[in-house]
Chain A
Amino acid sequence: MSEPLLRVKDLTKAFPIRGGLLQRQVGSIHAVDGVDFQIDAGETLGLVGESGCGKSTTGRCVLRLIEPSSGEVTFDGKNVLALSGDEMRALRRDIQIIFQDPYASLNPRMTVAAIIGEALIIHGLAKTKQQFDERIAELLEIVGLKADHMSRYPHEFSGGQRQRIGIARALAVEPKLIVCDEPVSALDVSIQAQVINLLEDLQQRFAIAYLFIAHDLSVVEHISRRVAVMYLGRIVETAPSRALYAAPKHPYTEALLSAVPIPDPKVKRQRIRLAGEVPSPANPPSGCHFHTRCPIAEARCSQEAPKLKQSADGHWVACHLR
């Protein structure tokens, strides 16, 4: 088996909670708590989970936009966490990110050309003004915008167009991996489909790998080859997309999938309703994080944290009972 493009091992990120008069650390938020996954070149891994489960933090830790507390991130054979500041900035050519909110992710005072082209200049990818303009025009056309949009400002575009600018910006440096941090959650459903299709086209054209973070299961099913499900900072199940949706193994995944609405009013689905709220990541439950809400939990679930183990080909699940 060849080496994957990105391998993340036992990644953790704990944010300190400070309190008291001297602002001493009184606890920590375990946003990411021992996450393992890998992405091959040109494939898409979907990362799903509810709000606050640590998906975005995981994505940003991979780029070291948030500094992880511990763990290993290997990209293309390089130990990402050991890189110096300059080496890390150079690596940003290969890993890019697209954000959720297309309104906040573009600097309002820069023209589209300046936004997209800034990285070209930083990484020395455009030597002359002519090269620069040609590349910007090319990128805008790739994402379905017009070349003469380059001298406009972000506020002159709609949400979907702005997200396309964000994608063009990420593409500019020809990255091998793009972390898509909920790239369509802020868009209308009709625009969502366009952007998803664009991302798929780009993947085929340029063989880019995606870490696709989302909370919308149907979007993830559509775009991902494999899907990882996160709950409270841990991955509870990871499987090929089709296998996961057809036969979820983890009780949390089952509950999540049962909540996806079916676009047919006559069909009624048996929904699994989870009792209670997600526990606070400042004080996660012992053992399996899910045991407080799990319909099938046993005594050992509260004592022993389950490891991810392979139950079928490529289908990994972290549960004592499945």
Chain B
Amino acid sequence: MGHYLLRRLLIALPSLLGISLILFVLLALAPGDPFGELASNPNIPPEVREALRVKFGMDDPILIRYFHWLVAMLHGDWGFSFASRIDVDQLILQRIPTTLYVIGTAQLLALIVALPVGVYAAMRPYSMFDQIASTVAFIGFSLPTFFTGLLLILIFSVNLGWLPFVYRADISASGWQWYWEYIKQAIMPIAVLGLFQAASYTRYVRSAVLDVIRLDYVTTARAKGIGERKVIIKHVVRNALIPVVTLVALQMPTVFGGAIVTEQIFRIPGIGSLLISAILANDTPVIMAVTFVFACLVVLFNLLADIIYGWLDPRISYS
């Protein structure tokens, strides 16, 4: 197992290197630079702007700049945000807890909804419950989060005034009031993200359970005289979960990507909105760092999926 992990991590290194190179070149080739807006500022003479460009090495050849970036990053220096005027790694560390809190809770909600609904629907396929669940799930993953997000804001914030529609990191209240505010502002983004995920997970769980439930070993379990509840949990769900777990693990990076939109709608100060504002401001070091973090997450969750798979399925061994 340890040997396998080591090998996988070694394989991951060149792919991360490749990803970072492609990202860097793409960003360098894209039009616009962090000092673009200085050009329209009459108080700053063009020579100053030029000096800044030279100071940050913006006019060096791309490969040399990439090499500088790589060496700096390996030394733990992720660069300096031109827009926020602090170190990029600090900026990311500030933003990541909020994103993890919102996305993690949303994923939890998605699983809490999808597992029982999907299993129950598959136990009675084409029943009224199944039909309704399938239809709702279908609608659920057909509606993009930017639509449902705005809809919820319209209903619960604008019309009813129950929930705040701007997520604030600096809540002024204290004590219990603080926790309540903190939870209240997260309800809508978590619901939007979580239910969207739940919709697709439900359909996936349903089909995975349906695949397993008609197998002979499930009938065998019933023939042994085991109660139906135990048959479903021990023999059906455990086997059906293997593909579902893989799906969830592999979807995590995508969820981070999808959360960008949700973070933007609810103004959540997470890593997604950081990326958006960095793109708008041409803040290349931040864009580079955030996209690279996403790339690491993809590699990490792929590895995690493989490890979980081996743990769940005795037919797979990593020796």
A300 at the interface (CB under 8 A from B): no
**What residues of chain A lie closer than 8 Å to B142, measured between beta carbons?**
none
Stretch from A2-10, A31-39, A105-113 at the B interface: A105-113
- Interface assignment of A270: CB less than 8 Å from any CB of chain B: no
Chain B, residue nearest A155 (CB):
B315
Residues of chain B contacted by A123 (CB below 8 angstroms) = 225
Interface size class of A (residues with CB under 8 A): 20 to 34
- A104: which B residues are within 8 A, CB to CB? 215-217
- The stretch among A89-97, A217-225, A285-293 that forms the contact with chain B is A89-97
Interface assignment of B75: CB less than 8 Å from any CB of chain A: no
Given A118-B226, A119-B225, A105 contacting B220 (CB threshold 8 A): yes
Distance of A21 Cα from B46 Cα, bound (Å): 73
> Quick check: A122 and B216 within 8 Å, CB to CB?
no
- Highest count of chain A CB atoms <10 Å: which of B216, B313, B314: B216
* Chain B residues with a Cβ closer than 8 Å to the other chain, count: 20
A99 within 8 A of B: yes
State which of B219, B225, B238 has its C-beta within 8 Å of the C-beta of A93.
B225
Smallest CB gap from B230: residue in A = A122
- Interface mask (B38-60 → A, CB under 8 Å = 1, otherwise 0): 00000000000000000000000
Closest to B220 in A: A105
Which A residues, 1 to 44, have Cβ-Cβ distances below 8 Å to chain B?
18, 23
- Cα(A119)–Cα(B226), bound, Å: 7
A245 within 8 A of B: no
Q: B223 touches which one: A18, A96, A100, A101 (CB < 8 A)?
A: A96
Q: Is B221 on the interface with A (CB-CB < 8 A)? A: yes
Bound Cα distance from A49 to B201, whole angstroms:
43
In angstroms, Cα B312 to Cα A173, docked, is 29
Measured in the bound complex, the distance between the Cα atoms of B219 and A90 in whole Å is 16
Task: State whether B239 touches A99 (Cβ < 8 A).
Answer: no
A63 at the interface (CB under 8 A from B): yes
Residues A153 and B217 in contact, CB atoms below 8 Å apart: no
* Closest A residue by C-beta to B227: A89
Given A108-B313, A109-B312, A155-B314: A97 and B223 within 8 A (CB)? yes
Do A92 and B225 touch across chains, with their CB atoms under 8 A apart? yes
Q: Kindly list chain B residues whose C-beta atoms are within 8 Å of the C-beta of A105.
A: 215-217, 219-220
Contact A107 B221 (CB under 8 A): yes
Find residues 75-106 in chain A having any chain B CB closer than 8 Å to their own CB.
Answer: 89-93, 96-97, 99-101, 104-106
Are B224 and A119 neighbours in the complex by a CB distance under 8 Å?
yes
Cα–Cα distance between A153 and B317 once the two chains are bound (Å): 12
Interface residues of B in 215-262 (CB under 8 A from A): 215-217, 219-227, 235, 238-239
Which of B126, B217, B223, B312 is the one whose CB lies under 8 Å from A107?
Answer: B217
Q: What are 6 contact pairs spanning A and B, CB under 8 A?
A: A63-B223, A92-B224, A97-B219, A99-B220, A108-B313, A169-B220
In the A-B complex, the 10 residue pairs with the smallest Cβ-Cβ separation, listed nearest first, are A92-B225, A105-B216, A119-B224, A89-B225, A99-B216, A104-B216, A153-B314, A107-B217, A155-B315, A97-B223
